[in-house]
Chains A and B, each alone.
Chain A
Amino acid sequence: MNVHEFQAKQLFAKFGVPVPRGKEITSPEEATAWANELNTSVFVVKAQIHAGGRGKAGGVKITKDKGAVAGLAKELIGKTLITHQTGPKGRKVHRLLLEEGANIAKELYLSILVDRDTGWPTFIASTEGGMEIEEVAEKTPEKIIKEAIDPAVGFQGHNGRNVAFALGLQAMEAAVINPFVQMLGNLYRLFMEKHAALVEINPLIITKEKTLVALDGKVSFDDNGIFKHEDVQKMRDLNEEDPLEIEATANNLNYVKLDGNIGCMVNGAGLAMATMDVIKLAGSEPANFLDVGGGATKETVAAGFRILLKDPNVKGIFINIFGGIVRCERIAHGVIEAAKEVKITVPLVVRLQGTNADEGRKLLAASGLTLEVADDLWEAAQKIVKLTGKAA
């Protein structure tokens, strides 16, 4: 789960990581009120969306004029920002962060996440903050500093010093070395305690006043760890999620909307991805990823149908179930029952394999529903592609 910059910064403050004074606002009136209270020489108005690259896309406005803040807020609220991370449709801005401006002397990059390779939490740092850090990693990998933290003992001072000296903080601004080491320790604590999946600060700045400030904050949480943290659960912003994906989650379905025409419903994530791949090989494109999980029932199948059919791009549906613990005749019953409740307006191909597949296929064939039954994966994919008007 992702959260907004203003929420990330609230967490930073709680864990002793310095951030600019700032507040979430949702209207020009609130902006004026908070600008009066902030009483600073430079005001920064920042669009809050779950995507990076806002600066380049015009989502970060800086002004010295207190009177201009309300106007900037008005301009940004309701605007759709298109950044390199939002996709071409962009994202509508519903809330802003209004904070004090900082005197930037130097912009650094800092993040922490688990390195899948080693299984250790790992800091990544670079002197090339603020810029496209992926580009830095690709073109000048020597400018990327990595420091793995041994989870058995947790963060140690030397971990912080290793990063500080490798960044060249000594020459840059020796006064920030100790605060920097402390900050890394605090970030490690935040990362582990709150079950974060990623904490990223870009830029982390050294100010002209020789202090460190986290000027941006991106935090995402491990979905499997959220149940432990009520404060994190409250940070969820449904505006930032696809409505169909929200409905899917509520029905215990794992759904991701894509851009193709063939809706698919599959049990298991790996098989669901393989089903998408096979649709593509057969000459079309999947409309979604949908994993109905190990305990597919009539209700989950019906919910799946409803979600798939709400996507106007869907021109055909492909159900691919490999029965294991889930028995195919149950799935067949589920499809038949669900088809009574949900009017299926597009061609449907059902492929059943595994436990009681024969029985399931017979039930479907005798049901009177307009659908095609298949037992082989490739045969099924070709059928649905053909039915939706594209031949392989």
Chain B
Amino acid sequence: MSILVNKNTRVVVQGITGKEGSFHATQCKAYGTKVVAGVTPGKAGQEVEGIPVFNTVADAVKKTDCDTSLIFVPPPFCADAILEAADAGVKLIICITEGIPVNDMVKVKRALHGRDVRLIGPNCPGVITVDEAKIGIMPGFIHKRGVVGVVSRSGTLTYEAVHQLSTLGLGETTCVGIGGDPVNGTGFVDVLPLFEKDPETQAVVMIGEIGGDAEEKAAEYIQKHVKKPVISFIAGITAPPGRRMGHAGAIISGGKGTATEKMKALEAAGVRVVKNPAEIGHAVKAALGR
């Protein structure tokens, strides 16, 4: 078992004829992912590495039964691309694009609210279920099928954690990059229940960073609902509070958002918090009694 994506997931790549899109579509396909379609408006009929290109996501869905979209569309057009995928009936949208204006995401998040669709990202490495489907930009070879679920706000830091898990022989089930943008589609609290339910996942690594209160929310959720061991690292304990201009940021977060606050909240919820990012793998090993 695994979460979110597996070997049957049928992927459409939006922005497939671009440099990033074509490169990563090819990489995902080589990993074994069923990449069945691509979309670039005006380029229907072309092929990228044998993957048929369509003008619209709706066409791609009709012709190929794709159920998941992977987006590489540039920031100015990305909100539109996400909404197009949702309107075409795609159930899982994974948006890699970095640099989407926050206010665009505000509107997208509102428009998706209450609909039967999940957005992951933007500004994330994507999702991989090891040996089944890689839907994103992560290097596939560092992963090893195993027992740990990974959910993270960061990209390369996730690779670091995965590398440790693989090297120690623990391996991963599914790794989910939820992205670092202030307004995103999926949070820790959406992914944690999926790992808790997944019979193959024995422990969860949660990688957070300073800013916002996603980790504090996760702590609350874990305390109430998660029985599996959770191991966490929060990046940014040495980051300066940042040159502030106004005061509103501090008010709205109500004193939350620092690494220390987040660690405290997680520890109080029974999470094993590691201070040294080089120790993530060992902490999981200890938690699993291996």
- Which single member of B23, B235, B238, B278 contacts A270 (CB below 8 Å)? B235
- B241-261 interface (Cβ within 8 A of A): 243-255
Give CA–CA (A355, B163) in the complex, Å: 11
Q: Do B75 and A119 touch across chains, with their CB atoms under 8 A apart?
A: no
A119 touches B248 (CB 8 A): no
Q: Indicate with 1 or 0, residue by residue over A374-390, a CB within 8 angstroms of chain B CB atoms.
A: 00111001000000000
Q: Is the CB of A324 within 8 A of B246?
A: no
* Residue A114 at the chain B interface, CB threshold 8 Å: yes
Cα distance A119–B104 in the bound complex, in angstroms: 11
Q: Which residues of A contact B104 (CB under 8 A)?
A: 225
User: CA of A111 to CA of B239 in the docked complex: distance in angstroms?
Assistant: 26
Q: Is B102 an interface residue (CB 8 A)?
A: yes
Q: Does A220 contact B (CB under 8 A)?
A: yes
B248 touches A114 (CB 8 A): no
A202 CB to closest chain B CB, in angstroms? Answer: 7
Say which size band chain A's interface belongs to. Answer: 35 or more
Say whether A134 contacts B207, CB under 8 Å: no
Residues on B with beta carbons closer than 8 Å to the beta carbon of A266: 156
Q: Which listed residue, A192, A200, A258, A381, touches B248 by the CB 8 Å rule?
A: A200
Contacts of B156 in A (CB 8 A): 266-268, 270-271, 322, 324
Residue B158 is within 8 A (CB to CB) of chain A in the complex: yes
- Bound complex: CA of A276 vs CA of B234, how far in Å? 12
Name A117's contact: one of B23, B163, B213 (CB within 8 Å): B213
Q: Is the CB of B139 within 8 A of A270?
A: no
Q: Which residues of B contact A362 (CB under 8 A)?
A: none
Residue of A nearest to B214 (CB): A116
A277 beta carbon closer than 8 Å to chain B: yes
Interface 9-residue window, one of B28-36, B106-114, B223-231? B106-114
B83 within 8 A of A: no
Interface residue? A172 (CB, 8 A): no
Which of the segments A20-28, A207-215, A281-289, A310-318 contacts the partner chain? A281-289
Known: A111-B246, A124-B251, A137-B250. A270 touches B153 (CB 8 A): yes
Residue among B105, B157, B247, B254 making CB contact with A274, cutoff 8 Å: B157
> Which of B152, B163, B245, B276 is the one whose CB lies under 8 Å from A354?
B163
Contact call A277/B155, Cβ cutoff below 8 A: no
Given known pairs A268-B157, A354-B139, the reply for A198 and B233 (CB within 8 Å) is no
Nearest residue (CB) in A for B254 is: A137
A117–B218 CA distance with the chains assembled, in angstroms: 12
Set A52, A137, A144, A286: member contacting B246, Cβ < 8 A: A52
B236 touching A277 by the CB < 8 A rule? yes
Write the nearest CB–CB distance from A227 to chain B, whole angstroms. 7
Q: How far is the CA of A360 from the CA of B159 in the complex (A)?
A: 18
8 Å CB interface, A198-226 against B? 198, 200, 202, 218, 220, 222, 224-225
Give A301 Cβ to nearest chain B Cβ, in Å: 16
B163 near A51 (CB under 8 angstroms)? no
Q: Which of the residues A119, A276, A286 comes within 8 Å of B109, measured between beta carbons?
A: A119
- Give the chain B neighbours of A224 by CB distance below 8 A: 75, 99-102
Looking at the assembled complex, report how far the CB atom of A264 sits from the nearest CB atom of chain B, in whole angstroms.
11
Residues in B neighbouring A198, C-beta threshold 8 A: 245-246, 248-249
Contacts of B209 in A (CB 8 A): 269-270, 273
Decide yes or no: A377 and B251 within 8 Å by CB, A198-B246, A225-B103 being known contacts. no
Contacts of B141 in A (CB 8 A): 355
A146 surroundings in chain B (CB, below 8 A): 252
Q: A113-B249, A138-B255, A286-B238 are in contact. Are A323 and B106 (CB under 8 A)?
A: no
Known: A200-B247, A270-B180, A377-B278. A325 touches B252 (CB 8 A): no
Q: Is the CB of A271 within 8 A of B154?
A: yes
> B4 at the A/B interface (Cβ < 8 Å)?
no
Given contacts A225-B101, A258-B240, is CB(A119)–CB(B106) below 8 Å?
yes
Residue A195, interface by CB 8 Å:
yes
Knowing A270-B152, A354-B142 are in contact, say whether A322-B255 is a contact too (CB < 8 A).
no
Contacts of B207 in A (CB 8 A): 270
- The answer to whether B159 touches A324, judged by C-beta atoms less than 8 angstroms apart, is yes
Q: Can you list, as one digit per residue, whether each of B207-222 has a CB less than 8 Å from chain A (1) or not (0)?
A: 1011111100100000
Contacts of A121 in B (CB 8 A): 103, 106
Chain A residue with the shortest CB-CB distance to B141: A355
How far, in Å, is A59 (CB) from chain B's closest CB?
A: 14
Asked if B287 is at the interface of the complex by the 8 Å CB criterion, the answer is no
Using CB atoms, name the residue of chain B closest to A193: B103
Of B152, B213, B238, which is in contact with the most chain A CB atoms at under 10 Å from its CB? B238
- Tell me whether A52 and B235 are in contact (CB under 8 A): no
A169–B235 CA distance with the chains assembled, in angstroms: 44
A116 & B182 in contact (Cβ 8 Å cutoff): yes
Contacts of A271 in B (CB 8 A): 154-157, 159-160, 235
Residues on A with beta carbons closer than 8 Å to the beta carbon of B101: 195, 222, 224-225, 228
Q: Which residue of B lies closest to A150 (CB)?
A: B110
Q: Given contacts A134-B250, A273-B238, could you give 6 more A-B pairs where the C-beta distance is less than 8 Å?
A: A200-B248, A222-B103, A268-B154, A271-B235, A273-B157, A286-B238
Q: What are the 9 closest A-B residue pairs judged by CB atoms, nearest first?
A: A270-B154, A268-B156, A270-B157, A225-B101, A378-B278, A200-B246, A273-B235, A111-B248, A271-B156
Q: List residues of B whose CB falls within 8 A of some A CB.
A: 23, 75-76, 99-107, 109-111, 137-139, 141-142, 152-160, 163, 180, 182-183, 207, 209-214, 217, 233, 235-240, 243-255, 275-279
Could you give 13 example pairs across A and B, Cβ below 8 Å? A85-B243, A119-B109, A258-B238, A270-B152, A270-B154, A271-B157, A276-B236, A280-B238, A294-B137, A324-B137, A324-B156, A324-B159, A378-B278
